[in-house]
Amino acid sequence: MTPPGDETWMRRAIALARANLGLTGDNPSVGCVIVRDGMAIGEAATAPGGRPHAEEQALDQAGEAARGAAAYVTLEPCGERSAGHASCGERLASAGVARVFAACADPSAFASGRGVERLRAAGVHYNLGLLQAEAAPLYVDYQPHSRAPPER
């Protein structure tokens, strides 16, 4: 069973994403809240135009305090970026986040389990599906990238 605090933080991430719906170009509007010791230390939504992603903005706010924290994200973190920058999965792992909760899976070729693989390889606990029914309406019109990222 999920502790009530986890649902509260995910609802905050959903509200952040909802605020930027329709403003993020081809990218989905994602909300991210980073929590440590019961307090939000970073929070953001995908910026207008689609960049920067929510996770990178929230991590910038959190700074070193992100180490050992939990991240609540409305959509599975990307595992590859179309522009070649570090993915959100890489950024979360590098920041030392201990747990990542994602509401919805991302069928994009740039995500679809790739970010999760990066997180798990770094020892980050990953949980998919927290408040999925509440977050899913955010992505009903989302048309994910169909172009596969380059093989490495």
Active site residues: 55
Query: What is the 3-class SS of 24-59, one letter each residue?
Result: CCCCCCCEEEEEECCEEEEEEECCCCCCCCHHHHHH
Q: What whole-number distance in Å separates Cα of residue 143 and Cα of residue 95?
A: 29
Q: How far is Cα 133 from Cα 150, in angstroms, rounded to an integer?
A: 32
The closest of 81, 99, 120 to 5, measured between CA atoms, is 99
CB within 8 A of 151, min separation 6: which ones?
none
| Beta-sheet pairing, 70-75 with 31-36 | antiparallel
**C-alpha of 54 from chain center:** 7
Instruction: Return the closest-CA partner of residue 106 out of 134, 129, 83.
Output: 129
